[in-house]
């Protein structure tokens, strides 16, 4: 949900290790008295979407999350604002619109019985590890919906991540406030005509790998990968909300809408 009116006094500045981001970092150093991330009210993130996801995950892992204002010095920059070294960054941050998003909480069980808990801000993907297709049982809301999905993989995307890998796999674009998740198959072979599903985000999803020894599957939560998966259980982590900051008129919601009208 969008909101504003918050005043951020202490800002942290983080940059990816690319030359462009490091140059921007040096240019912005003189604009204020930057503080370490663990002392900040908000963080300015210089880089691309990947570095923004990395920063958000680092805050989730540390147990202290502050609003993030990204400036695009990467490729797509879907989660970022325009970079402008001439504008006063503190003014932009304090005038920004706030968008709150909730990640997925993922419990991934490996074939040896170990359980790993991860967060997925964009999506969780299950992908075949070998030339053999994956076979996956799909359960939603405590009911088995597909007993055997034969495919290269399957993913579950949040609204914030619906324009990323999900869209490339022909999944639907979800409005940011839709409270829905996209369940999208990757190169499905059987059921041949199944195109995926749009699900209320209150429903729990379980993806169980069939014949995992012969048909091993990896799980990828944004940028973190686990191999030899037996089962993945996931639901929205409402207690781990994240806040992204956008310049007025440049919200994530508008970008999700605009993405659906791109014709070239």
10: how many CB neighbours lie within 10 A of its CB?
15
115 and 79 within one domain: no
127 and 28 within one domain: no
150 and 231 within one domain: yes
Q: How far is it, in rounded angstroms, from Cα 85 to Cα 89?
A: 8
What value, to the nearest 5°, has the Cα angle with vertex 116 and ends 223 and 99? 50
pLDDT of residue 4: 55
154 and 30 within one domain: no
| 143-151/134-140 β-pairing | antiparallel
165 and 60 within one domain: no
Give 92-95 contacts, CB < 8 A, sequence gap 24+: 92/247, 93/8, 93/11, 93/42, 93/44, 93/69, 93/245, 94/6, 94/7, 94/8, 95/4, 95/247, 95/248
Backbone angles phi, psi at 121, to 5 degrees: -80, -40
173: how many CB neighbours lie within 10 A of its CB?
16
Instruction: Using the predicted structure, report yes or no on whether residue 254 has a pLDDT greater than 60.
Output: yes
Give catalytic status of residue 33 as yes or no. Answer: no
Residue 177 marked as a ligand binder = no
In eight-state DSSP terms, residue 190 is B
185 and 121 within one domain: yes
Q: Is residue 264 part of a domain?
A: no
228 and 112 within one domain: yes
255 and 224 within one domain: no
Residue 152 marked as a ligand binder = yes
Instruction: Using the predicted structure, report yes or no on whether residue 221 has a pLDDT greater than 90.
Output: yes
Query: Residue 253: which pLDDT band, with cuts at 50, 70 and 90?
Result: confident
The active-site residue, picked from 17, 41, 49, 228, is 49
For residue 92, give the H/E element and its range.
helix 89-95
Query: Residue 233: which pLDDT band, with cuts at 50, 70 and 90?
Result: very high
Residue 62 marked as a ligand binder = no
Neighbour-count burial for 79-97, b at 16+ CB within 10 Å, e otherwise: bbbebeeeeebbebbbebb
Residue 164 marked as a ligand binder = yes
Q: How far is it, in rounded angstroms, from Cα 230 to Cα 250?
A: 41
Q: How far is it, in rounded angstroms, from Cα 204 to Cα 199?
A: 10
> Quick one: what percent of the chain has pLDDT higher than 90?
82
3-state percent breakdown (helix, strand, coil) of the chain, nearest 5 = 20, 40, 40
The string of pLDDT tens digits covering residues 162-179 is: 989 999 999 999 988 899
| 205-210/229-236 β-pairing | antiparallel
Instruction: Using the predicted structure, report yes or no on whether residue 35 has a pLDDT greater than 80.
Output: yes
pLDDT of residue 1: 43
Domain count within the chain: 2
226 and 130 within one domain: yes
97 and 16 within one domain: yes
Instruction: Give the Å distances, CA to CA, from 236 to 26, 200, 203, 259.
Output: 38, 10, 9, 24
Domain that holds residue 70: 2-102+241-259
pLDDT of residue 263: 64
- Mean per-residue pLDDT of the chain: 92
68 and 116 within one domain: no
Residue 167 marked as a ligand binder = yes
Q: Mean per-residue pLDDT for 129-145?
A: 96
pLDDT of residue 2: 44
Domain CATH number, residue 29: 3.40.50.10330
pTM: 0.88
Domain CATH number, residue 222: 2.60.200.30
Query: Residue 256: which pLDDT band, with cuts at 50, 70 and 90?
Result: confident
Q: Is residue 203 part of a domain?
A: yes
Q: Mean per-residue pLDDT for 80-96?
A: 91
Lowest mean pLDDT among 86-90, 128-132, 233-237: 86-90
Q: Is residue 211 part of a domain?
A: yes
């Amino acid at each position: 949900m969008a909101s504003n009116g918050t005043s951020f006094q202490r800002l942290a500045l983080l940059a990816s290790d690319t030359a462009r981001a490091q140059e921007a970092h040096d240019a912005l150093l003189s604009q204020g008295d930057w503080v370490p991330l663990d002392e900040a009210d908000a963080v300015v993130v210089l880089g691309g979407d990947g570095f923004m996801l990395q920063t958000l995950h680092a805050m989730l892992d540390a147990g202290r999350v502050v609003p993030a204002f990204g400036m695009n010095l990467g490729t797509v920059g879907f989660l970022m604002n325009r970079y402008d070294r001439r504008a006063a960054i503190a003014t932009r941050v304090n005038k920004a619109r706030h968008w709150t998003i909730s990640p997925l909480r993922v419990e991934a069980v490996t074939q040896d019985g170990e359980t790993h808990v991860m967060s997925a801000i964009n999506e969780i993907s299950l992908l075949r590890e070998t030339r053999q297709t994956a076979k996956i049982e799909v359960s939603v809301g405590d009911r088995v919906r597909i007993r055997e999905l034969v495919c290269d993989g399957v993913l579950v995307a949040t609204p914030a991540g619906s324009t990323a890998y999900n869209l490339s796999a022909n999944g639907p674009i979800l409005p940011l406030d839709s409270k829905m998740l996209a369940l999208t198959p990757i190169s499905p072979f059987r059921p041949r005509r199944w195109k995926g599903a749009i699900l209320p985000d209150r429903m729990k999803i379980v993806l169980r790998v069939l014949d995992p020894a012969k048909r091993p599957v990896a799980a990828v939560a944004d940028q973190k990968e686990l191999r030899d998966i037996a089962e993945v259980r996931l639901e929205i982590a409402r207690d781990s909300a994240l806040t992204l900051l956008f310049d007025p008129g440049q919200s994530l919601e508008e970008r999700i809408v605009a993405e659906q009208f791109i014709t070239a």
